[in-house]
């Protein structure tokens, strides 16, 4: 391989490599996930993380320091897979790490030890923008004009925003399930003009379909099986380190859904350590909702570990078979992590291995109580995000985290993404139940209603104005 950046199969018994211009979302040979890797020796690398401070003078300037304005591309030497001219940025990643002692005190942390990383402050209101900027930049570099994703909401909101801000613009296509999306998120996809297909099925069904469609119609896939998205999400950890004066925290706690974010964090720390830019890695805690706890089951009940990449695939298939046989559907108020077959499972196992990680599950009631605490003592977050703080509380009680360790909880999405959940918590009233949607045709000039489509390939193709290729 002569390129400075390329893709490699994460299966240690395969390790097939592909150029970054090859569009595929799993290894052609063995179907495992792909990683983006770099030949660091041949790239200009900073000697220390302090190097990035020279961009602080230009990071407020949109006009001059276009790339420095972005909280992702400010660290471009650490994700060097696109030329600067190809980058698609909307000023993502200008987020805050907030020390939060009032909340810390409520759950028993010592002062000065709890930090909240507010990724809800991204342009589309969730951390997804960190990854979208990276994947869109690659799509632009490869001249793609149509992009698609399946989404529990935030991925579609982010994709829709980036699609209409790209130059040239791209068509954003969004697959959502039936009745499983917070209105704040759906409203964004519609408003930004994405073609929204509401498939009769859950998230996992949507993901299966969008992958088939991407493959058959040559549409660029933006779900987190896209390894370039995870490259962008590494920057969340760079910003955490930056805000802590380049000190590595003791713990990073993150909610786990499709497991892309935790995987990106693990990759970020592994690379920084290999490059000698940090001396140790933090421990990682991944928090599932009880109603969507596949990772928790696999790791804690079935003892599945990364095992150098030779993790026990039979145990995973066995669990999935049990779920299939019992027609199991995940169910949690934290809709952003309502996922039962996390596509990045192997990479998450690797992140747990690199960061001596733990996995926990927290119930919806506990999530909502912690969401209310974040609202009372912080800037608020959506339900899935509060799983990280709920997880911290649990790990404190279990004495796995001690009150004087430095802990960063990732607040993945903005409070206003899901106002129904908040109003219901505070009033006991289910707003949606009170107002069933009336059967009307929208009259707005820019109205962009979702189209209902059966969970069927041909029907989906025809909704996209195409016929299913044979």
Ligand X SMILES: *Cc1c(COP(=O)(O)O)cnc(C)c1O
Sign of CA dihedral 191, 194, 200, 205: negative
The CB-of-248 to ligand X minimum distance in angstroms stands at 21
Nearer to Zn ion, 15 or 212 (CB): 15
Task: Give CA separation, 200 vs 134, 152, 215, 369, in Å.
Answer: 30, 14, 21, 32
User: What does the angle CA 323 – CA 304 – CA 35 come to, to the nearest 5 degrees?
Assistant: 95
Judged by CB under 6 A, the chain residues 319 through 338 that form the site for ligand X are 336-337
Q: Is 256 in the site for ligand X (CB under 6 A)?
A: yes
Q: How far apart are CA 241 and CA 97, in angstroms?
A: 10
H-only helix segments in 51-113: 66-69, 101-106
Q: How far apart are CA 223 and CA 114, in angstroms?
A: 31
The CB-of-422 to ligand X minimum distance in angstroms stands at 14
Q: Is 130 in the site for ligand X (CB under 6 A)?
A: no
- Tell me the pairing of strands 5-9 and 17-19: antiparallel
Two tokens, residue 40: 């660091």
Q: With beta carbons less than 8 A apart as the criterion, state whether 29 and 16 touch.
A: yes
Q: With beta carbons less than 8 A apart as the criterion, state whether 412 and 130 touch.
A: no
Q: Which partner in Zn ion, ligand X, none is near 367 (CB below 5 to 8 A by kind)?
A: none
Q: Is 29 in the site for Zn ion (CB under 5 A)?
A: yes
User: Cis bond leading into 428, ω under 30°?
Assistant: no
In the shown chain, the binding pattern of residues 88 to 127 toward ligand X, with x for contact by CB under 6 A and - for none, equals --------------------------------------x-
Among 32, 122, 137, 154, binds ligand X (CB under 6 A): 154
Q: Is 177 in the site for ligand X (CB under 6 A)?
A: no
Nearer to Zn ion, 227 or 413 (CB): 227
Q: Is 384 in the site for ligand X (CB under 6 A)?
A: yes
CA-based radius of gyration for the chain: 21
Q: Is 261 in the site for ligand X (CB under 6 A)?
A: yes
Q: What SS3 class is residue 452?
A: strand
Distance spanning both ends of the chain, measured CA to CA: 34
Nearer to ligand X, 138 or 182 (CB): 182
How many residues at the interface with ligand X, by CB under 6 A?
18
Judged by CB under 5 A, the chain residues 30 through 59 that form the site for Zn ion are 30, 32
Q: Which partner in ligand X, Zn ion, none is near 277 (CB below 5 to 8 A by kind)?
A: none
Single out the segment in contact with ligand X by CB under 6 A; choices: 9-17, 23-31, 134-142, 381-389. Answer: 381-389
Residues lying near Zn ion in the complex (CB under 5 A) are found at: 9, 11, 14, 16, 27, 29-30, 32
Residues lying near ligand X in the complex (CB under 6 A) are found at: 126, 128, 154, 224, 255-261, 336-337, 382, 384-385, 412-413
């Amino acid at each position: 391989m002569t390129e400075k950046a390329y893709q490699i199969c994460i299966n240690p018994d395969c390790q097939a490599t592909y150029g970054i211009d090859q569009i595929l979302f799993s290894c052609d040979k063995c179907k495992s996930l792909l990683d983006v890797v770099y030949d660091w020796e041949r790239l200009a690398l900073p000697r220390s993380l302090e190097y990035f401070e020279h961009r602080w003078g230009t990071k407020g300037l949109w006009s001059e320091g276009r790339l420095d304005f972005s909280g992702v591309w400010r660290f471009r030497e650490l994700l060097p897979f696109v030329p600067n001219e190809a980058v698609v940025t909307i000023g993502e990643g200008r987020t805050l790490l907030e020390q939060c002692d009032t909340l810390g005190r409520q759950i028993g942390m010592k002062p000065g030890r709890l930090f909240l990383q507010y990724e809800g402050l991204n342009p589309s209101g969730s951390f997804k923008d960190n990854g979208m900027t990276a994947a869109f930049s690659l799509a632009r570099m490869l001249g793609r004009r149509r992009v698609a994703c399946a989404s529990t909401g935030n991925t579609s909101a982010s994709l829709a925003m980036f699609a209409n801000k790209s130059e040239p613009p791209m068509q954003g296509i969004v697959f959502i399930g039936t009745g499983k999306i917070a209105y704040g998120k759906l409203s964004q996809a519609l408003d930004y003009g994405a073609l929204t297909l509401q498939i009769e099925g859950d998230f996992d069904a949507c993901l299966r379909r969008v992958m088939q469609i991407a493959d058959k119609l040559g549409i660029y896939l933006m779900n987190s099986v896209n390894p370039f998205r995870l490259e962008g999400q590494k920057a969340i950890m760079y910003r955490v380190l930056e805000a802590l004066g380049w000190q590595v925290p003791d713990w990073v706690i993150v909610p786990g859904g499709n497991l892309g974010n935790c995987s990106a964090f693990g990759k970020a720390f592994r690379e920084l350590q290999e490059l000698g830019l940090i001396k140790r890695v933090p421990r990682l805690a991944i928090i599932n909702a009880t109603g969507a706890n596949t990772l928790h089951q696999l790791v804690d009940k079935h003892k599945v570990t990364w095992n150098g990449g030779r993790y026990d695939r039979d145990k995973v298939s066995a669990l999935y078979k049990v779920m299939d046989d019992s027609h199991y559907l995940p169910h949690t108020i934290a809709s952003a992590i309502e996922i039962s077959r996390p596509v990045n499972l192997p990479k998450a196992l690797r992140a747990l291995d690199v960061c001596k990680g733990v996995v926990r599950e927290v119930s919806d009631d506990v999530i909502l109580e912690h969401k209310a605490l974040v609202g009372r003592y912080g800037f608020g977050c959506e339900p899935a995000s509060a799983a990280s703080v709920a997880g911290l509380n649990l790990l404190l009680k279990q004495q796995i985290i001690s009150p004087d360790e430095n802990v960063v909880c990732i607040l993945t999405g903005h409070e206003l993404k899901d106002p129904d959940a908040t109003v219901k918590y505070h009033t006991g009233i289910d707003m949606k139940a009170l107002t069933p949607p009336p059967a009307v045709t929208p009259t707005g000039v820019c109205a962009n209603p979702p189209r209902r489509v059966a969970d069927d390939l041909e029907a989906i193709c025809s909704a996209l104005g195409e016929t299913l290729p044979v």
